[in-house]
Amino acid sequence: MSEKIILNSQQLQLTLRRLAHQLLEHHPNFDNTILLGVQPRGVWFANRLVHVIKAEFGLENVPYGLLDISFYRDDVHREANIKTYKTDIEISLENKNVVLIDDVLYTGRTIRSAMDAMLDYGRPSKVELCVLIDRKFSRHLPVQADYVGKAIDSSISQKVKVKWKENDEVDEIVLLN
């Protein structure tokens, strides 16, 4: 299986900084906004993004939570053993601006599941989507990201692998053929 680097470590850091700037432009001080990392892989990206926002802009209070979508997936009944993750949302989402954060936008099904799961914690006034990689020609559902690190053209047979130093000893994003 061959690998093509989509973003190397330096490019990934610049992309994280750019996305942090874009989020702050639209949500100054995060007064009425909460960032939600979609479990499992979106959490790695969300953690990094929150860290950049705090470090670069000196914001101490960035409302942030984790959202498990395991039982909201449309294929949940096909799986014998469902792996669950932690949901950690400390505030109501009622009338808040919510930014869902995931690493790769592919078919849109994960985001549809996240929106269903999120409604158990209140009805937001607005929902936005921030993704690191947008595989733009692969949608099964009409989902579009508001903040995109990088949009790529890829075929169904290819896979995007996001590697984080904490887990994979390197920060990079690769396209697997």
Task: Write the pLDDT tens digit of every residue in 94-113.
Answer: 999 999 999 999 999 999 99
Alpha-carbon gap, residue 152 to 173, rounded angstroms: 12
**pLDDT reading at 80 higher than 70:** no
Look at residue 75 in the predicted model and tell me its pLDDT: 77
Q: Does any domain span residue 58?
A: yes
Look at residue 55 in the predicted model and tell me its pLDDT: 95
Q: What are the start-end ranges of the E strands in the chain?
A: 3-7, 33-38, 64-67, 97-105, 126-135, 147-152, 159-163, 172-176
Count of domains forming the chain = 1
Q: Where in the sequence is the domain holding 90, given as residue range(s)? A: 9-22+32-76+85-155
Q: What is the CATH number of the domain that holds 143?
A: 3.40.50.2020
**pLDDT reading at 78 higher than 80:** no
Residue 92: count of CB within 10 angstroms of its CB: 12
Residue at token pair 């979609």: 38
Name the pTM for this structure: 0.94
The pLDDT tens digits of the residues spanning 16-53 come to 999 999 999 999 989 899 999 999 999 999 999 999 99
**Residues contacting 31, CB < 8 A, separation 6+:** none
Look at residue 101 in the predicted model and tell me its pLDDT: 98
Look at residue 77 in the predicted model and tell me its pLDDT: 65
Q: Which segment of 13-27, 60-74, 75-89 scores lowest on mean pLDDT?
A: 75-89
Residue 129: count of CB within 10 angstroms of its CB: 22
Sign of CA dihedral 135, 151, 111, 10: positive
Q: Does any domain span residue 169?
A: no
